[in-house]
Amino acid sequence: MKPTLQQIERLGQLDIQDEKGTVFKLKTLWKEQTAVLIFVRHFG
Amino acid sequence: MICRRQVADLIPKQADFEENALKLTVIGNGNSYFIQAFREDTGFQGEIYTDPTRQSYKLLGFKKDVTSSLNMKTLKTGLKGLIEGHSQKSIQGDPWQQGGVIVITPEQSVPFFYVNQEAGDYAPPNTILMENKGRHRK
């Protein structure tokens, strides 16, 4: 089931890190452009 | 090996995603210092991030259990990946966690959402492209 708008708003407030460990809010990924987020199982 | 194959499948399609104003981003759940090695191993030049807490995975309802990670089908898929050269190194993240795909617009609508059912199951890049082709502004 597709996430609701409320769930997307909560998702956007969660933190992610880049390879340097810099923390961003997930929302920055789709703030200006449509984002295709591929969630992989692990980095293995 | 399955994750590597999934990301390797994205590489030839990166330009197609860009042409359709779609920002392709990979998110894992291991420690951030494993991102560089994953990038080098897969050759993926797009953005890669990690959510070590896996809160985003939980919020999106992505599966996390043993049976979706280890069964006859996942073993066959893993073997296929191995034969194709996508050998797995040590797992950096939660081995029982499954992933998925979500497409989110700046208006926060979700034109595409896919929950992986088991290891080796993922939305093919062509399917994601077909569902979103020509729909997004640059």
Tell me the domain boundaries of chain A.
1-30
Is B63 a residue whose pLDDT tops 80?
yes
A8 touches chain B (CB under 8 A): yes
Q: Would you state the pLDDT for residue B91?
A: 58
Q: Which CATH architecture has domain B2-132?
A: 3-Layer(aba) Sandwich (3.40)
**Digit-coded pLDDT (tens) for B31-61:** 999 999 889 988 898 999 999 999 999 999 9
Give chain B positions within 8 Å (CB) of A40. 3, 6-7, 26-28, 99
Q: Do A34 and B60 touch (CB under 8 A)?
A: no
What stretches in chain A show pLDDT beneath 50? none
Interface predicted TM-score (ipTM) of this complex, two decimals: 0.95
Name the residue ranges covered by the structural domains of chain B.
Answer: 2-132
Q: Would you state the pLDDT for residue B96?
A: 80
Q: What is the DSSP string of chain B?
A: -HHHHHHHHHGGGHHHHHHTTEEEEEEE-S-GGGHHHHHHHH---SEEEE-TT-HHHHHTT--B-STTTSSHHHHHHHHHHHHTT----S--S-TTB--EEEEE-TT---SEEEE--STT----HHHHHHHHTT-S--
Q: Do B51 and A15 touch (CB under 8 A)?
A: yes
Of A19, A36, A43, the CB nearest to B93: A43
The C-alpha atoms of residue B68 and residue B71 are separated, in whole angstroms, by: 7
Interface test mutation site (partner A, options B39, B42, B108, B115, max chain A beta carbons within 10 A)? B108
**Digit-coded pLDDT (tens) for B1-23:** 556 788 888 999 999 999 999 99
Question: What is chain B's mean pLDDT, rounded?
Answer: 84
